[in-house]
A = this chain, B = another copy of it.
Amino acid sequence: MEVYRSSATLSDGRRLLYFDTAPDTGRDRWIDERGLGAASNASQIRWDALREEWVGIASHRQSRTFLPPADECPLCPSQDGRRTEIPAPSYDVVVFENRFPSFTTTATGAAVDAAPFLARPAIGSCEVVCFTSDHDTSFSQLPTERARMVVEAWADRVAELSARDGVEHVYPFENRGVEIGVTLAHPHGQIYAYPFVPPLVARIADAGRRHRERTGDCLGCSLLQSEERDGVRVVVAGEHWLAYVPFAARWPFEVHIAARRHVPDLAATTPDERADLASTYVNVLRRFDALFETPTPYIAAWVQAPVHSGRDDVHLHAQIFTVRRAPGKLKYLAGSESGMAVWVNDVAPEDAAARLCG
On A, residues with C-beta under 8 Å from B are 46-59, 61-62, 66, 102, 116-117, 171, 173-175, 180-182, 190, 192, 194, 198-201, 203-204, 206-207, 210-211, 219-220, 222-223, 226, 230, 246-250, 299, 301, 319, 321, 325-326, 329-336, 338-349, 351
Contact = CB atoms under 8 A, between A and B. Distances in A.
A299 B335 contact: yes
Copies held by the complex: 2
B51 A204 contact: yes
A59 B346 contact: yes
Q: Please provide the 8 A-B residue pairs with the shortest distance between their CB atoms, ordered closest to farther.
A: A181-B332, A301-B339, A56-B344, A198-B340, A46-B248, A48-B248, A199-B341, A173-B335
Contacts of A173: 335-336, 339
A52 B325 CA distance: 24
11 contacts: A51-B200, A52-B206, A55-B248, A57-B345, A173-B336, A173-B339, A192-B336, A194-B342, A198-B341, A198-B342, A299-B339
A250 B48 contact: yes
B180 A334 contact: yes
A206 B199 CA distance: 14
Grouping DSSP codes into helix (H, G, I), strand (E, B) and loop, the A interface class, with mixed when no group exceeds half, is: mixed
Given A116-B222, A181-B330, A50 B204 contact: yes
A174 B301 contact: no
B116 A226 contact: yes
Given A52-B206, A345-B55, A347-B62, A47 B301 contact: no
B55 A249 contact: yes
A219 B51 CA distance: 11
Given A49-B207, A55-B345, A66-B329, 4 more contacts: A48-B246, A51-B204, A299-B339, A333-B338
